[in-house]
Amino acid sequence: MNFFVEKCPRCKSALEVKEQPSSKTIIIKACPSGHYEKEFHPALETYIERNKVS
């Protein structure tokens, strides 16, 4: 089990880390096809998941 490779729940593609130059306190991982995003807030030790319905 690899916690560092997360996959899109819809298409099972590995999520890509998006660079956030304006906000270094947030890390966003997203499906390359735009189905799903996961936003990490390390300072709050939490994350927000977003499923994109198209």
By CB under 5 A, what part of segment 1-54 binds Zn ion? 8, 10-11, 31, 33, 35
Burial letters for 16-45: b for 16+ Cβ neighbours within 10 Å, e otherwise?
eeeeeeeeeebbbbbbeeebbbbbbeeeee
Nearer to Zn ion by C-beta: 5 or 43?
5
Nearer to Zn ion by C-beta: 4 or 23?
4
Classified as helix, coil or strand, 22 is: coil
Nearer to Zn ion by C-beta: 25 or 51?
51
Site residues, Zn ion (CB under 5 A): 8, 10-11, 31, 33, 35
